[in-house]
Each structure stands twice: as C-alpha cells, then as structure tokens.
Structure 1
Amino acid sequence: MKFLDNEDQLAGVLGHEIAHADRRHTSRQLQQQYGISLLLSVLLGENPGQLAQIATGLGQLKFSRDFEREADEYSVVYLNGTNYYACDGAAGFFIKAEAQGQSGTPEFLSTHPNPGSRIQDIQTKADQLGCRNRNTSNSTLTELKSLL
C-alpha cells in the first residue's frame, strides 16, 4: 500500500489480482502441475495422500508469464468498466517499480514479464479502449496510507 502513489495504481493492482481469480489461473496452473486425473482422484477421495502435497504446492504456486500478461490485460478491461479509474493504473505501479530497479532478472528466467513490456502492453490496451486519462481523487488512498 505504501508503495502506491495513487488510487489508479491501487485499482490496477487489485484488478490484476482479481483477474487471476476470474480467469482461473490457479486452477489452470494446478492442472498443468499435477494433471487433471490426479486432481480428480484427490477430489473424489481416491488418493487422499496427495492432498497434502497439492496444498503445499499451492503456497509455492507462481503464475506463468502468459497468465501475468492476461491478468494485466484484464485489469485494464475491468477498470475501463468503472468509468472512474484510469484503466492503465497498473502501468503506474510498474513504472515506479522499474524506476527503482526492480526489473533486474531477464524475462526468460522469470515467471513474470519485465516491467517495461508490461507497461507498454497495459498502455496499448488502455489506448485501444480510450480510458487512460481519467482524473481520480486520491483522498481515500491518502487516508488509508495514514492509517498504516
């Protein structure tokens, strides 16, 4: 929360995380990691010992670059629907992260796209939807940050 500069960034980050749930990235990742047949056997009670292993794996689950790109795209779509927040709010978060040197790992070695690519993709989608330049009040975020 303290890292964020405005409510558009907060809304963008929240939209990104909601997109992971809405697009079922966790379920899809588990299917890839454990296989559908194993998951079904656990759900049907045929292999209860695997449940602990899957639960442990959930804590270590990392989304793929494709899932991250999809969540970024949907954060723009979701914020466009609000008619309130600048729909490229998540880009502001990545601009700040990049300025602070948080893009050191080459993209091909990372589970996440590099911030520069993410900024460009988010802003391109926002331009397509025509929702980049909305003026948002930051009073709620300012109040929230003062409580932290």
Structure 2
Amino acid sequence: MFSGLIKFLETEDQLAGVLGHEIAHADRRHTSRSLQKEFGVSFLLSLLLGENPNQLAQIAASLGQLRFSREYEVEADEFSVRYLNSTPYSCDGAAGFFIKAAAQAPTSTPEFLSTHPNPGTRVEAIQAKAKELNCASRTTDNASFLELKRIL
C-alpha cells in the first residue's frame, strides 16, 4: 500500500477492496505456494532434461507460472469480496479499482502472457460474487477517506 494508490482510489470501499485483495494473497499463502510450484517445476524439468534445461523448457515453465499467478489473482479477488461481506463496506470495492485502472491503461497483452487476468473479467467475477453474497452497493461515508487523500 502506498500513497499513490490511495490518491488514485475514489472511495473508501475501493480501498477496502484493494486491502482485502492483498490480505487474501497473504492469508491464502500465494507467495509460498508459488515458490513451491516454481521450484517443483524446475526440479522436475532438471530431472527430465538434465541439469541445464533448454530454452523451450524454460519458456514452458514460465508460462505455467503465469497461469498459477492468474489463478492466485482470481482467488484473491474472490476472497476480498468474502472478507468484506461481513463489514459495512460494499464488498465489490475492488471492482471499482479495476474499472478505473482499465480505463486509464487499456491492456494490450494477451491474458495467457500476463501475470494478471483481464481487468474486465475480474470486474465481472467480483461483481458476480458480490451479487451472490448480496453485499454490493452498500453506502459508506467517505469523509475520512477524502480527508486522508487531502492530507497526502
């Protein structure tokens, strides 16, 4: 979390959504799971191809890691909604962040080459989960958040 992100956000719900997403990465142990998979794949490739896997094997391993990274992003988005469900915040706050981010920097990278899912897909999934849990569109007083942005 950094001040530039807080300045970029428009509502306290968006801030709660982004924080929920980042907390989900920690809670769901995405970093350690990613490292386990990365080293596991590298180990298997070294067994199959010898100690020096060729360039094609390295590319295949990298593309596999991108898929895991996208899966973790999707999981963090879902858990952000779940975490915020029991709070006064609109649980689809992270969707507002992705809508704004996508409008400012449209992506041109195909999803299969990216570490993150397509923003439009993420917004749809977040909003669908919020609808399922019936926790979207809550109204939060943004006065404290706006004061924080003013101070920054």
Same fold (TM over 0.5): yes
TM-score, length basis structure 1: 0.78
The aligned residue for residue 68 of structure 1 is 73
Stretches of structure 1 that go unaligned for 5 or more consecutive residues are 39-60
Does residue 20 of structure 1 match 2:25?
Answer: yes
SS of 1:137's equivalent in the other structure is coil
The Cα RMSD (Å) is 1.9
Does residue 3 of structure 1 match 2:29?
Answer: no
Decide which of 109, 112, 119 is 2:113's aligned counterpart.
Answer: 109
Residue identity opposite 2:24 in structure 1: A
Count of equivalent residues? 124
Large movers: runs of 4+ above 3 Å: none
Measured against aligned partners, the alpha-carbon deviations of 1:95-141 in whole angstroms (never above 9, x if no partner) come to 11111134232211100001000000000000000011100011121
Which has a greater percent of helix?
A: 2
**How far has the Cα of 1:85 moved from its partner?**
0.4
Residue identity opposite 1:71 in structure 2: A
The aligned residue for residue 97 of structure 2 is 93
Stretches of structure 2 that go unaligned for 5 or more consecutive residues are 1-5, 44-64
Measured against aligned partners, the alpha-carbon deviations of 1:51-110 in whole angstroms (never above 9, x if no partner) come to xxxxxxxxxx9870000000000000000011x000000000001111113423221110
C-alpha distance in 2, partners of 1:126/1:12? 11
Residue identity opposite 2:146 in structure 1: T
